[in-house]
Chains A and B, each alone.
Chain A
Amino acid sequence: MSRPAALCPSCGAPIVFQWSSSVQTTCPHCRSILIRKDVNLERVGVVSDLPPDSSPIQLGAAGVYENRAFTVAGRIIYDYAGGSWNEWHIVLNTGGSAWLSDAQSQYVVTVAAPAPALPPLPSVQLGGSFNWNNTAFAVTAITTARYRGVEGELPFEYWDKHAATFVDLRSTAGDFATLDYSDAAPVLYVGKAVEFDDLKLKNLRAFEGWS
């Protein structure tokens, strides 16, 4: 894993990348949002104050998913009717990256799955069924979310967003899928619901009064 080092164009702090394929990161000192352009970093904005955090996961936390070790490199934060939730960008020791989502401590790991002919949002209904990776999924939630902020490394440019709609789907065996409608073309992520204990997480955030 290469760790290209650069300096923040805004404050000059050293920027270290955990993952060679990261496209975007934030400066831990001045909270500038930085985009990689070849060998240079371009400042495109600044992260506004993030909401009070409730997730036990934080940047630098490490865990295991399907026998592969991973490190938490970044996240996207959304607000929705049930509060806020995090999509943690995790970097696997096998080289790829995935997403660990934490909504009200319901943990799900997904990977972007290229799929042809994803349904346009208006055609999606609760209970509707789809078939991907030879798995039958049913729509269990359609969530309207508001982009709240980013932190750390992401595999794509993601900033200056507003509303986004997510369609959650589940299978009878615990498979999980999300259709992300935050851009013009929907993106499919497929994975599994996971138990907190099975992730064997380390470097977690400490909660005052909780051991």
Chain B
Amino acid sequence: MVVSGAPQVATLTCPGCGAALTVRSMGRAVTIVCGYCHSILDAQDPQLKILQRFEAAVGDETLLIPLGTRGKWRGTVYEVIGFQRRQMQVDGLPYSWREYLLFSPYKGFRYLTEYHGHWNDCSVCTALPLGRPGLLVIYLGKPYRHFQSCTATTTFVLGEFPWQVQVNDAVEVNDYISPPFILSSEKAGEEITWTLGEYVQGADIWKAFGLAGKPPVPVGVYENQPSELKATTGKVWVTFLGLAAALFLIFTINQIMAQREEVFREVYRHAQSGSQSAAEASFVTSIFELKGRTSSVEVRTDADVANQWIYLNYALINDDTGQAYDFGREVSYYTGTDSDGAWKEGSQHDQVMLPSIPPGRYYLRVEPETDAAFGLITYTVTVTRDVPVGAIYLAALAALLLPAIFIAARSHSFEQRRWAESDHPMKIVIGNTGDSDS
């Protein structure tokens, strides 16, 4: 065959200005743009008919990846052959993004898009996405939520394209997202083209194409930018559930194992005499024994107070070592009726937990104090050892819950910032990252 393997004519001359044109896509170009005079040429016409010439100042557009740059991307060598800047209007403000067309003679075309430092790797869909336009679309079994509709207008082109493109070409775009993926439909006339994009890191592109310097720092949250927190949130909740289950298990075992052994109970009466101090009214109980292992001790006070109070200054004292645990308790109970009806305040019962009391022989020193006007108050002191502690588990649960809630809230905030830019913002917006071309 004559044709197969014949070397491509790589250089043509621009009919607009006579500059040399480099053709990179080997006979696949449909549109070629002269980088000097910005003539858009019909590559299928042997005369390279000028279809359009657009105004662009020198340095109007600086390509982050220059035309002709080659790099190994996703395992295949690609060359940057075309560049296009497109714009959409949101609330009267223009937003521009850039598209770099990549070419491989074997794999064909794909393109990288860039918006404020956010990059997507896009290629044409091979299957048909189907769903409810403007709401949800399913592509190869995966759901994509509608993000936004807009009209995308080409405002600058350079290089060559395997399709017809001119400045001011406008297409209807609908974006659907499932981060890190984005599914976009472009409608030109009656024809709809679907492309699938994947969010990629600028640093990976810089590395693949051997670009100098650093990629631009991404601004804000992009529509299909994956939330690292979202993945983390899931893990945090799984971890939380695991730890909470472990906690519940320990709690249950503790409840079952706790002996709840009553070691002391005595009924006392106290009437305050005018000049008597609490110390003078003090007394000590008989000795009781705390057996077994170091455990919690509950001291319960039940008093027949009615619109009265009694304050008890306790000391649990180890008869052998003299070690004392001091604590004060008040039992007070008030009832009455007001315009809102019956009310009550306080309780006739009080209990306190002393954690980690070593075994031994103990007694209580009690200093009762009340109002002389109350007359005689009868109260019962009960000491129980090895009582299961509930509160500490609640505290532990709260401590576990806190980081999970914190991360979930931050993840939620990320999603709000993402969707704030969409046609479907979330109800409450915490942060606003909206910015437009200045």
Contacts and interface: CB of A to CB of B under 8 A. Distances in A.
A105 B27 contact: no
Interface stretch (A112-120, A154-162, A203-211): A203-211
Interface in A105-130: 105-106, 126-127
A49 B27 contact: no
Nearest to B138: A172
A174 interface: yes
Contact of A54 (B26, B138, B139): B26
Given A141-B191, A196-B107, A174 B126 contact: yes
Given A52-B8, A126-B190, A207-B105, A104 B3 contact: no
Interface centre among B1, B9, B140 (most CB of A within 10 A): B1
A2 to B, nearest CB: 25
Given A83-B28, A171-B128, A174-B127, A52 B106 contact: no
Main secondary structure of the interface of B (DSSP, over half): loop
B162 A196 contact: no
B108 A140 contact: no
A173 interface: yes
A91 interface: no
Chain A interface residue bracket vs B = 35 or more
Contacts of A58: 4-5
A82 B163 contact: yes
Contacts of B129: 172
A39 interface: no
Interface centre among B4, B109, B138 (most CB of A within 10 A): B4
Contact of B162 (A104, A141, A173): A104
Nearest to B123: A106
A81 interface: yes
A56 interface: yes
Chain B interface residue bracket vs A = 35 or more
A49 B2 contact: yes
B392 interface: no
A82 B162 contact: yes
B295 to A, nearest CB: 66
A170 interface: yes
A1 interface: no
A28 interface: yes
A104 B127 contact: no
A83 B44 contact: yes
Nearest to A102: B108
B27 A106 contact: no
A208 B7 contact: yes
A170 B104 CA distance: 25
B77 A211 contact: yes
B166 interface: no
Contacts of A106: 108, 124, 126
B130 interface: yes
Interface in B100-118: 104-109
A28 B8 CA distance: 22
A82 B30 contact: yes
B233 interface: no
Contact of A126 (B5, B77, B163, B191): B191
A49 B7 contact: no
Interface string A172-211: 1111000000000000000001011000000011111011
A52 B6 contact: yes
Contacts of B140: 172-174
A56 B7 contact: no
Contacts of B164: 81
A207 B26 contact: yes
Contacts of A151: 1
Interface in A127-160: 127, 138, 140-141, 151
B163 A196 contact: no
Contacts of B5: 58, 205-206
A66 to B, nearest CB: 16
Nearest to A192: B126
B25 interface: yes
A56 B106 CA distance: 6
Nearest to B8: A52
Contacts of B106: 56, 105, 196, 204, 210
Nearest to B127: A174
Contacts of A141: 191
A52 B126 contact: no
Interface centre among A51, A54, A173 (most CB of B within 10 A): A54
A205 B107 contact: no
Contacts of B163: 82
A170 B28 CA distance: 24
Cβ-closest 5 pairs across A and B: A105-B108, A193-B126, A52-B27, A174-B127, A54-B27
23 contacts: A49-B3, A52-B27, A56-B106, A58-B4, A81-B30, A82-B163, A84-B27, A104-B28, A104-B162, A106-B108, A106-B126, A138-B128, A170-B127, A170-B128, A172-B130, A172-B139, A173-B127, A174-B140, A175-B127, A193-B127, A196-B108, A205-B4, A206-B5
Given A84-B27, A170-B128, 13 more contacts: A50-B3, A52-B8, A54-B105, A59-B4, A83-B44, A105-B109, A106-B108, A106-B126, A172-B130, A174-B140, A175-B127, A205-B4, A205-B5
